[in-house]
Amino acid sequence: MSFKFIERSKLWFTISSVIVILGMISLATLGLNFGIDFTGGTRIQAEFPEGTTNDQIRTALSNVNATDAQGREANLGNSFVQSLDEGAFSIRTLPLDEEEQDRVVEALETEFPGFTVLSGPDIVGPTVGAELIKNAILALLIAAALLVVYISIRFEFKFAVSAIVTLLFDAFVVLTVFSVTQIELNSPFVAAILTIVGYSINDTIVVFDRIRENLKFPGKDLAAKVDRAISQSVVRTINTSLTTLLVLGSILFLAGDTLRPFALPLFVGVISGTYSSIFLAGSFWHAWKLRERSKKIA
């Protein structure tokens, strides 16, 4: 038994288009909340009393206000706090002048007796962020080009382009979620996006492989063969995604703040990758093939 995925292609395209439009509106109006790795800022590494938590440090930082790059007053309670070894923490805030740095240290010393600065405050320049963005885009372009070459050789060019479209959709969905929620983007986000690309292409290739196998059998129209291919792989795709989400969910909700910036984009990306593999990749390839056949007949 096969579900009629292709018959509802317009529905999948409409849903995907709405998501893309909402994402473009969000990115145009809200933008992205780039963290210190991209914008530069102030970093302090310090030792805290045993048992101190990230939330307690953020609560202490919320007593300090500073001026951001746009001249607005900002509260430091949303600063990035990462636990290191043996009671040490790394605190990353927006760029602070000397007076603001002194107020941060004073607030932490008042709240945590025994607080000791290990290094810093250090100023991390925005050029680090520019390098990260440049390298991330370059890595994504190289990965996309290699995927197009490989899939074109093993399958055909239309499969390759369809796969890249779904990959870009998945990456865009993650960007949209981060834009809407204004969650801070730092270097782990870049690694997560590249990981999503690798994960999503895996499911898409499985669907395309089933389509290629079904094309060898005569007697059915193209839509029926694509429907059958997706139906043959949908259980595997869902089971694989669910088991992956269980692991990522555990990291996201139980592993604390250190791994959360990496786990969250992966969690969203796997959900989007599952949707695009089942509903978008085959539908996009089928629509392209129909358009090609119509041109030949005309």
Q: Do the domains spanning 6-34+128-297 and 41-124 agree at the CATH topology level?
A: no
Dist CA 150 CA 202 (whole Å): 13
On whether the CB atoms of residues 49 and 115 are closer than 8 A, the answer is yes
Q: How far apart are CA 47 and CA 116, in angstroms?
A: 5
pLDDT at residue 61 in the model = 83
In this structure, what DSSP letter does residue 125 have? P
Residue spans of the domains in the chain: they are 6-34+128-297, 41-124
Q: Tell me what pLDDT residue 201 has.
A: 83
Q: Give me the residue label for tokens 């001026």.
A: 67
Give the pLDDT of residue 33.
76
Instruction: Specify the CATH number for 6-34+128-297; select among 1.20.120.140, 1.10.1200.10, 1.20.1640.10, 3.40.50.2300.
Output: 1.20.1640.10
- The closest of 237, 229, 224, 233 to 213, measured between CA atoms, is 229
CATH code: domain 41-124 is 3.30.70.3400
Three-state secondary structure call for residue 218: coil
* Of 275, 273, 295, 276, the residue nearest 285 (C-alpha): 276
d(CA 199, CA 206): 12
**pLDDT tens digits, residue range 64-76?**
887 776 677 777 8
pLDDT of residue 13: 93
Measured CA to CA in angstroms, residue 114 lies from 44, 109, 232 at distances of 16, 7, 62
What pTM did the predictor assign? 0.75
Kindly state the tokens that stand for 36: 């210190």
In angstroms and rounded to an integer, the radius of gyration of the C-alpha atoms of the chain is: 24
Residue environment code for 190-202, b if the CB has 16+ CB neighbours within 10 A, otherwise e: bebbeebbebbbe
Per residue in 29-47, pLDDT (tens digit) is 888 877 777 777 788 888 8
Task: For the chain, list residues with pLDDT below 50.
Answer: none
CA dist 155 → 178, 215, 233, 263 (Å): 34, 12, 17, 32
Count of positions (residues) in the chain: 298
Q: Which pLDDT score, from 0 to 100, does residue 110 have?
A: 84
pLDDT score of 283: 92
